[in-house]
């Protein structure tokens, strides 16, 4: 608590801008309330969440008539959410309904009951709007430039074609996981015939979409609870080293293995599958098959899991209202800045470490492992190296590692996330060891990591007393050795003494002995 105050010029001022909003997703499978605290355009964080499996779409089938039991459940849940918002003093509530409500013939009955009994106005999204908010979430939390976003809900499936980060075309199909389960796979284990009939049905729905075809250099991003559930099962099957779904690359072959695993099982047996979410066990198979057919239809052999969706899309529309469309200019930068704002300890020191480390980086010559991609990783590692201080000074390098891995850093791949986390993990001492994250890394990544870590550590040590006394660095690279001039008008004793204790990692990284001397402007 107190540490954080220190880092603010005027805490009360920042506090004054802090806003809170509640977003309620009146979904076909579950109702979700999420509370987000934010300063517009600057920082946001989820601060509360409630979920209730309402299964509004249950029993609706082709008749389009919402049944009494789920409707009562829906009203109760909304009353509860209203009470929750009131108790939490949240006045700003955005409630949006999707497929189940949209398609129900008796939707007005429900909407008026919610209005009267819970005092909440629910906005019913069209299929296009639903797709749009999924797209907003995807394009603001991944580096998607061109390709598709698919959002698999309980009632519907939305597909959006994205070109140059803009939504170009979209459609909503009634292929949600609850819907397809009820209509095509009501029994478990599912018979091969039933599975085939479901696959045939999905193909018939997708076949007319001639615009839903992979083209070179494009990616498929996928959202929704059933998709996350399937990806989690695959991660458990593969003993994946990271407990993070967002950004995970799900291969079609692995998804198909998960499908084969589920097919012969009862719902109760499915619940024993590692990674299975208990209240999704019944709809998990149909959901996975829908995703599989999408990949086959569009011609992708892998997809990227997006952990965000509709609710975040609604939020971004508010948070980024100054942009048109409301998307971040640079998702990766926004990600790092958001985490940095969350845990910032001493901004001036962090900025200075960034300056010194990038300056060293830019003075290296012709190192094939030090290109623009590595420079960006170094920047991110510098920005986040001290966030663990918000936990404790002792072992703060380990805490930074923990916080970075848990933040997920939307927009970065898991490999990049691992490299950034590992560089901060070793920013104080020791030679980097990739340990349990080895499985995420590429061939030369250990060497890349060593170089990034060496520069981060030198920069950190050159600002060891956190006062910016070493203003700049000049690096002279010779064949076997290098000389670092620490440019300072003040007393640079602490900086040079500290940096000198770490010349060994520079030598290990770059194969050169390093001398450090004080220099004046």
Binding positions for a second copy, rule: CB under 8 A: 1-8, 11-12, 14-15, 18, 37, 39, 43, 45-49, 79-80, 83-84, 86-88, 341-344, 389-395, 399, 402-403, 406-407, 464-467, 469, 491, 493-494, 497
Complex with a second copy: residue 45 or 126, whichever CB lies closer: 45
How many angstroms separate the CA atoms of 35 and 47, rounded?
Answer: 6
Smallest separation, CB 239 to a second copy (Å): 16
Smallest separation, CB 227 to a second copy (Å): 18
How many angstroms separate the CA atoms of 138 and 56, rounded?
Answer: 25
Cβ contact 184:203 at 8 Å:
no
Smallest separation, CB 8 to a second copy (Å): 7
CA distances from 59 to 62, 64, 182, 383 (A): 9, 9, 8, 52
Complex with a second copy: residue 92 or 362, whichever CB lies closer: 92
Smallest separation, CB 116 to a second copy (Å): 16
Smallest separation, CB 250 to a second copy (Å): 21
Smallest separation, CB 244 to a second copy (Å): 10
Smallest separation, CB 243 to a second copy (Å): 9
Complex with a second copy: residue 255 or 462, whichever CB lies closer: 462
Contacts of residue 310, Cβ cutoff 8 Å, sequence gap at least 6: 25, 27, 96, 98, 130, 133, 134, 137, 151, 153
Complex with a second copy: residue 32 or 451, whichever CB lies closer: 32
- Contacts of residues 109-112 at CB distance under 8 Å and 24 or more positions apart, as own/partner, are 109/66, 109/71, 110/66, 110/71, 110/74, 110/75
How many angstroms separate the CA atoms of 340 and 354, rounded?
Answer: 13
Complex with a second copy: residue 42 or 481, whichever CB lies closer: 42
Residue that has been written with the tokens 């050169």 in this structure: 512
Q: With CA atoms as reference, report the closest residue to 99 among 157, 167, 181.
A: 157
Smallest separation, CB 501 to a second copy (Å): 9
Cβ contact 298:220 at 8 Å:
yes
Rg, Å, the chain Cα set:
26
Smallest separation, CB 78 to a second copy (Å): 11
Complex with a second copy: residue 1 or 62, whichever CB lies closer: 1
CA distances from 427 to 409, 423, 439, 443 (A): 19, 6, 22, 22
How many angstroms separate the CA atoms of 198 and 193, rounded?
Answer: 9
CA angle 167, 172, 178 (to 5 degrees): 135
Complex with a second copy: residue 102 or 399, whichever CB lies closer: 399
Smallest separation, CB 283 to a second copy (Å): 20
If DSSP codes are grouped into helix, strand and coil, which group holds residue 53?
Answer: strand
Complex with a second copy: residue 4 or 333, whichever CB lies closer: 4
CA-CA-CA-CA torsion sign (419, 315, 44, 325) = positive
How many angstroms separate the CA atoms of 320 and 139, rounded?
Answer: 13
HEC per residue, 267-292: HHHHCCCCCCCHHHCCCHHHHHHHHH
Smallest separation, CB 323 to a second copy (Å): 22
Maximum Cα interatomic distance, the chain, rounded to a whole number of Å = 82
Q: With CA atoms as reference, report the closest residue to 103 among 134, 77, 64.
A: 64
Residue that has been written with the tokens 């459940």 in this structure: 73
Complex with a second copy: residue 48 or 485, whichever CB lies closer: 48
Complex with a second copy: residue 227 or 389, whichever CB lies closer: 389
Complex with a second copy: residue 73 or 219, whichever CB lies closer: 73
Q: What letters, b where the CB count within 10 A reaches 16 and e where it falls short, cover 348-380?
A: ebbebbbbbbbbbbeebeeeebbeeebbbbbbb
């Amino acid at each position: 608590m107190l540490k954080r105050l220190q880092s603010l010029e005027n805490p009360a001022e920042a506090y004054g801008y802090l806003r809170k909003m509640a977003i309620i997703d009146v979904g076909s499978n579950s109702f979700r309330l999420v509370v987000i605290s934010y300063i517009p355009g600057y920082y946001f964080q989820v601060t509360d969440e409630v979920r209730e499996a309402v299964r509004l779409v249950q029993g609706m089938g082709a008749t389009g008539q919402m049944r009494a039991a789920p409707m009562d459940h829906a009203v109760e849940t909304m009353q509860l959410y209203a009470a929750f918002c009131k108790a939490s003093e949240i006045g700003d509530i955005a409630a949006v309904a999707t497929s189940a409500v949209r398609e129900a013939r008796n939707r007005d009955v429900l909407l008026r009951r919610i209005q009267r009994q819970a005092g909440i106005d629910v906005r019913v999204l069209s299929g296009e709007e639903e797709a749009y908010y999924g797209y907003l979430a995807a394009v603001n939390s991944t580096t998607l430039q061109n390709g598709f976003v698919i959002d698999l809900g309980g009632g519907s499936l939305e597909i959006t074609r994205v070109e140059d980060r803009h939504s170009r075309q979209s459609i909503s199909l009634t292929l949600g996981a609850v819907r397809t389960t009820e209509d095509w796979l009501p029994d478990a284990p599912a018979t091969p015939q039933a599975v085939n009939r479901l696959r045939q049905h999905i193909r018939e729905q997708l076949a007319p979409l001639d615009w839903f075809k992979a083209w070179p250099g494009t990616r498929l991003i996928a959202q929704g609870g059933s998709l996350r559930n399937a990806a989690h099962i695959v991660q458990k099957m593969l003993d994946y080293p990271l407990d993070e779904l967002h950004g995970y690359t799900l291969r079609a072959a692995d998804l198909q293995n998960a499908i084969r695993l589920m097919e012969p099982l009862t719902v109760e047996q499915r619940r024993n599958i590692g990674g299975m979410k208990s209240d999704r066990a019944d709809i998990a198979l149909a959901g996975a098959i829908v995703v599989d057919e999408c990949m086959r239809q569009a011609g992708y052999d892998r997809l990227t899991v997006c952990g965000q969706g509709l609710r975040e899309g609604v939020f971004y529309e508010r948070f980024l209202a100054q942009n048109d469309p409301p998307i971040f200019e640079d998702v990766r930068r926004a990600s790092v800045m958001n985490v940095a704002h969350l845990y910032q300890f001493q901004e001036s020191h962090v900025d200075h470490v960034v300056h010194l480390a990038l300056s060293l980086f830019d003075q290296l010559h012709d190192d094939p492992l030090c290109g623009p991609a590595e420079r960006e990783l170094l920047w991110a590692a510098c920005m986040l190296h001290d966030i663990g201080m918000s936990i404790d000074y002792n072992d703060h390098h380990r805490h930074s590692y923990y916080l970075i891995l848990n933040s997920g850093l939307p927009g970065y791949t898991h490999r990049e996330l691992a490299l950034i986390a590992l560089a901060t993990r070793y920013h104080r001492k020791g030679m980097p060891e990739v340990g349990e994250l080895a499985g995420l890394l590429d061939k030369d990544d250990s060497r890349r990591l060593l170089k990034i870590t060496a520069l981060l550590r030198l920069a950190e040590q050159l600002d060891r007393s956190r006062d910016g006394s070493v203003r700049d660095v000049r690096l002279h690279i010779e064949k076997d050795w290098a000389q670092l001039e620490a440019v300072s008008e003040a007393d640079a004793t602490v900086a040079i003494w500290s940096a000198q204790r770490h010349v060994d990692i520079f030598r290990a990284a770059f194969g050169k002995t390093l001398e450090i001397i004080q220099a004046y402007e």
